[in-house]
Structure 1
């Protein structure tokens, strides 16, 4: 059994907590009464006093060094709790054991998994085929986390036939892929599904996969019966909240990708860390308080395994994303070119569903909302706003009711486009 290395990059998560908490002790030495930088009337700043709710400033004055000692104890307690939470995760016995559906198509390290193969409802004549496209960065397993929390299995049970794109890990050839190469691969996967289904399939894109499927629909509109997008970024300058680190470091990271041939997983995880540096500290503290044999702990471990198990990003694609998308906003400006064609959402007329989670910290809602804009967005789009997060729209307790159900209803109600229209 392979040892868990997460949360990745672990030194960064531990270092963030250690440096912050240790600096609290240094700050107190400077600010406490009697130090050269304090005055007799000065009290500790509110943020410092809040660090130890059980110890107020007046109590600290009751005896020399009491606050100092309590502060050290609290720092050690928090460090121990973080370490215990990480170790509890790394040593947890649960592993993802769901059986994979059959792979029905391959190209390079990319596979198509047929999630309808073992569901009677999905195998019925006329079942709507859906090409499901996840991000290139995070693997597909979040869409099939457990038997109960599997969007793909729920779709099959409802009579849809999902074909999932598993991008795999880039091989030597794929490390040279740009977005044109990836969209080209999607075009061939779409052609396979259309031929197999004898009609134009729907296309569902999640996160970066959604951005790629917009280009797919623009290039092959007659082969796409409908385009559903879940938290798909488009206007990368609509809201830069939380994106400053990525924007500022984009050109440097692109140089790294050029030299190495790919953007490594730990660098990608560092970009996610930059959106909320304290997220790991908070969530592993909460994890330690869970019943370690309960369902919530099991789901936490499986989700964390998914988060830490991403794939590197091919060098040319990394440059396009970091410099072209985040830096220059070429999709949002209508300047993204794929295989010689400019991708302009307002020229795409296929029926579209744009699902926007309002609590998304990975893809700002305003970025995804650009695709539903009445003037510049997709021509025939329905917009649904969800009170969920980027990952919560797929696996949270409310995902089935708020996201899965309207998504599946929309896909099921798409008009049929027969095989004669999928040859072009």
Structure 2
């Protein structure tokens, strides 16, 4: 079959399928065009993968654990179990349920049967009226009240930007321990080129975001794709060859639906993330202050551990704090949470560390 005919055939089911993603689709298609410019065969495979992803069956929505506390729009969801409370702080970017992705792949539900009581912060979905709520306010007005509602100091675990946030919270409230998982801190170590690209993206998007009072998820997704455009395309090429509705295909769809979902950020949170974290690197330069207190990792009064991926393109290992207890994982940024090696590399060590940290106080 000629390449042009392959492309036409692959696109026809895409046009009639629900628009699940990738978001923003025009940027994805431009990346696809540039990444496959020299290979019509690769372009055809990627388009076939895109069509298959769009048309794939989705499972019925699962019931989420009921919240046991709320603060503003944020909630604390209790996954049950007995033992010390372990509060997971997800990133503000993408939905929090990467930690509870499916019945087969749920760090939270697994931990509930391991002598730990896992709880998940659900940040909710902000509206334009919350435009002035920056990351500091998310910590002071949403996260800390949720922690206080427990009546005892928990262990904190933060994933991605949630780990950065958890470090700040642990500096402001007594906790039993802090686990940072693929969490950036030294933002200058993204490198000059990457940070310049991110700054350019923000400068272009900022006027519209300021008018909206929100930073749409598509703006953030564009930044992620800039970090690794080749992989953004090749994973769809790979998906085209998977058995439809097989285990690997179902896992891919669940993960991509998560990656293409998520609430917007408030304008102030997006502005702080781009300008004060990524560009100015206030955490890495010891210039992050919340409520008159400087956030310094070296002053923590609790056990702390850092799980870092050696193959992370979203949060490179170089951006980590470098805590004394630093554990390097082979899997990537998302694979360390849901991949085939996740239980051995992260889940079990995190469980053991949590139980040990809870016994020290």
- TM-score (normalizing by structure 2): 0.90
Write out aligned runs for 1:326-345 (5 A): 326-345=278-297
Residue number in structure 1 paired with 2:155: 202
Q: Post-superposition shift, 1:19?
A: 4.4
Match of 1:106 among 70, 73, 81: 70
Contact 1:287–1:297 (CA under 8 A) maintained in structure 2 = yes
Residue number in structure 1 paired with 2:33: 18
Relative contact order (C-alpha < 8 Å, sep 6+): which is higher? Answer: 2
Residue number in structure 1 paired with 2:10: none
CA distance in 2, matches of 1:311, 1:363: 21
Match of 1:392 among 316, 321, 335: 335
CA offsets 1:223-249 (integer angstroms, 9 cap, x no match): x00001101110001242744411343
CA offsets 1:283-341 (integer angstroms, 9 cap, x no match): 11111101112110000000000000022111111111111111111110110111222
Q: Any stretches of 5+ residues in structure 1 without a counterpart?
A: 25-50, 52-74, 117-121, 373-380, 419-424
Residue number in structure 1 paired with 2:143: 186
Inter-CA distance 182–371: structure 2 relative to 1 (3 Å threshold)? farther
Contact 2:128–2:212 (CA under 8 A) maintained in structure 1 = no
Write out aligned runs for 1:285-300 (5 A): 285-300=237-252
The higher radius of gyration belongs to 1
1:94 equivalent to 2:58? Answer yes
Inter-CA distance 128–278: structure 2 relative to 1 (3 Å threshold)? same
CA distance in 2, matches of 1:254, 1:159: 46
Q: Post-superposition shift, 1:175?
A: 2.9
Residue number in structure 1 paired with 2:349: 406
CA distance in 1, matches of 2:32, 2:273: 30
Q: Could you say what secondary structure the match of 2:26 adopts?
A: helix
CA offsets 1:130-175 (integer angstroms, 9 cap, x no match): 1110000111111111122111011111010011001121124433
Q: Any stretches of 5+ residues in structure 2 without a counterpart?
A: 1-16
1:349 equivalent to 2:301? Answer yes
Write out aligned runs for 1:217-256 (5 A): 217-220=170-173, 222=174, 224-240=175-191, 242-256=194-208
CA distance in 1, matches of 2:89, 2:358: 21
Inter-CA distance 82–190: structure 2 relative to 1 (3 Å threshold)? same
Q: Post-superposition shift, 1:395?
A: 0.4
Residue number in structure 1 paired with 2:111: 155
Q: Post-superposition shift, 1:260?
A: 2.2
CA distance in 2, matches of 1:337, 1:401: 37
Inter-CA distance 251–14: structure 2 relative to 1 (3 Å threshold)? closer
Q: Could you say what secondary structure the match of 1:217 adopts?
A: helix
CA offsets 1:325-367 (integer angstroms, 9 cap, x no match): 1111111011011122211111112110111011111111111
Q: Could you say what secondary structure the match of 1:131 adopts?
A: strand
**Equivalent pairs, count:** 343
Residue number in structure 2 paired with 1:211: 164
Match of 2:265 among 313, 318, 326: 313
CA offsets 1:178-206 (integer angstroms, 9 cap, x no match): 1121001111000012x1xxx32101100
Q: Could you say what secondary structure the match of 1:350 adopts?
A: coil
Q: Could you say what secondary structure the match of 1:93 adopts?
A: coil
- TM-score (normalizing by structure 1): 0.77
Write out aligned runs for 1:16-95 (5 A): 16-19=31-34, 21-22=36-37, 24=38, 75=40, 77-95=41-59
Residue number in structure 1 paired with 2:91: 135
CA distance in 2, matches of 1:255, 1:351: 42
